[in-house]
Structure 1
């Protein structure tokens, strides 16, 4: 299948928004407009739910879990939209299929990178567990072992992940994919492309946030300029400004993830005490600090587990949609029939 050529770049970096409201091209019926408006209203509500009440909620594992759930829901909504539009795959423009398949494979790569980072962070839990176990004794020998475990944890967490570092080039490609394919003859196709644009913007933004959170760097961040003609644009801009602004404030720290930062603070407070560098401390006070580290460690572990499940779910959503489209192209079946068959297969495997 041939790829669309990048001959002349649009003046608008992410597609010409006025093409959506131009009188030229296919006329969108009132019924199709209702479907599109309902889709975009749901997208806007989803974005609103991600706007935290305070900056302290940003970059927490719980917020990231909600963000990944929102991505799963939006990508599932695209599948539902295709059903409502009754737009069979054989009516799809080749460029739409190219865009869908190209984006899906990049999203699968990003999911794999995120999963590897979550696994790496979870591996540090064993070192913290060993340190906490040794801190249960007042023996100086056990304290030495605890120090060794804490040293190992800091080195492990600060070592970096090559897969996360490669996310930058993937995100650059996804940014370029935001440019909308032209729709000349199909009103339903025009609705589908506009809906997909909203989901692509949400996806690129949140994936760039995850990449920045995991790397502690702002180099993979994107400030997307979305035209105001989209009903969800003001909400998206508010969310983007708030989240990206907080990432820039935290950039350069040992970590910008909330739960990881709490663990690191406890480790920094505890480390000089068990090394004997600081003045003698009462057993009760030491137990309090150890208890705080234990609770922070458990909260970090639980948050990583929940986020890992959501990243895995998103991987399956993307994979199911991709497989359904490929199956439809081969067999001539409808896209939604292939999706439903894929979902049944996934349930059997699970």
Structure 2
């Protein structure tokens, strides 16, 4: 979904709040809370988007790059929907900062900015791995050399691929300091555990605007948490799991989605998958098979290769080429979406801080 640069949840909040801010809570907060029609529409849209990720997972594969592209689109669209609620929220804030949600929002958004940075580094690591795979394929495609030398160079490049994955894996399993991805996963899990559903007067504020912010935070923590885990190799931390209030239209959809993803990832783990990101796991499996074939031929000095051996090798090369292409094509648009989320969070923080600063002068 396209977004204008600089757009944020609070880009137009100053005008809505009719600065300077009220020093007291609005009298409307003492009136029985009725959910605004636009908030009901927000809940319906969020439910439908979460529901759409289940058939998308069945079709594209849960935790595949295509699935994550759709998942991140859900995150961005949800933030855009929250922004559209601002003109109807009629929200009041307090100069004494008794509105705890402001502090919570600023704290959580700062953490999510860190998450975006870690995600970008994680994607960059996969791009480096992809570059090593392309080097191996280039050696195999090199028509200027042939026979044993050609296959030896390709095997060496594939060995580098295996070592790159092993190093990434070792960070998690051999007592090394936690990697950034693992630290990020732990932080998101803690954020999820500390999520507080707006209640009482807080829930009444701004025609329920805080409930929409809650929905956006839940969605962002869940789906970004899944992406963090998918970019790791042999993650020892479980998937991010959130427990949310049941009265939202989207609550059951989120719970069902979490369970569906868990079922699929448990199957993958039981099969020995090294990475939960489907394309990365497919490339790794193909790298290992091709390396084994080349190693067998080189150690046995089986040159020239027989027709059957040549066919087996050619088939495995094409498998690697296909899996590598699938992986490479999705990384750039995925990184674009992460950058877009980063910009949205930055713009929201700056706009809100500016509003607070203006109210105090």
Q: TM-score range by the shorter chain?
A: 0.7 to 0.9
Q: 1:144-184 deviations in whole A, cap 9, x for unaligned?
A: 11111111112213322721011133113312441135552
C-alpha change, 1:301 and 1:187, in structure 2 (3 Å) is same
Moved more, 224-233 or 308-317: 224-233
Which of 264, 269, 289 does residue 284 from structure 2 map onto?
Answer: 264
1:104 maps onto 2:109 in alignment: yes
- Contact 2:92/2:206 (<8 A) preserved: no
Match of 1:289 in 2: 316
Q: Deviations over 1:172-226 (max 9, x none)?
A: 3312441135552783336012222222221222122122212242524233233
1:71 deviation in Å? Answer: 0.6
Task: Figure out how many residues of one structure are paired with residues of the other and give that number.
Answer: 308
Deviation of 1:72 (Å): 1.1
* Alignment gaps of 5+ in structure 2: 1-28, 172-178
Moved more, 294-303 or 277-286: 277-286
- d(CA) in 1 for partners of 2:165 and 2:201? 51
Match status 1:64 vs 2:68: yes
The aligned residue for residue 251 of structure 2 is 233
Query: Deviation string for 1:43-95 (max 9, x for gaps)?
Result: 11111111135276101011011111111111122222122213255588530
SS of aligned partner of 1:166: helix
Please tell me whether the aligned partners of residues 262 and 296 of structure 1 are also in contact (alpha carbons under 8 angstroms).
yes
Quickly say closer, same or farther: Cα 1:281–1:64, change in 2 above 3 A: farther
- Of the candidates 200, 210, 222, which is equivalent to residue 227 of structure 2? 210
CA distance in 1, matches of 2:230, 2:261: 11
Q: Which runs of 4+ in 1 moved over 4 A?
A: 88-93, 277-281
What 5-or-longer segments of structure 1 have no aligned partner? Answer: 1-23, 334-350
| 2:166 equivalent to 1:158 | yes
Change in 2 beyond 3 A, CA 1:226/1:281: farther
Alpha-carbon shift at residue 287 of structure 1 (Å):
2.5
TM superposition score normalised by structure 1: 0.80
Q: Secondary structure at the match of 1:260?
A: helix
Please give the root-mean-square deviation of Cα atoms over the aligned residues, in Å.
Answer: 2.5
Distance, in Å, in 2 between the alignment partners of 1:183 and 1:327 is 28
Which secondary structure does the structure 2 equivalent of 1:159 belong to?
helix
With over 3 angstroms needed to count, the CA separation of the structure-2 counterparts of 1:117 and 1:80, relative to structure 1, is: same
Q: Please give the alpha-carbon distance, in whole angstroms, between the structure 1 residues aligned to 2:312 and 2:202.
A: 73
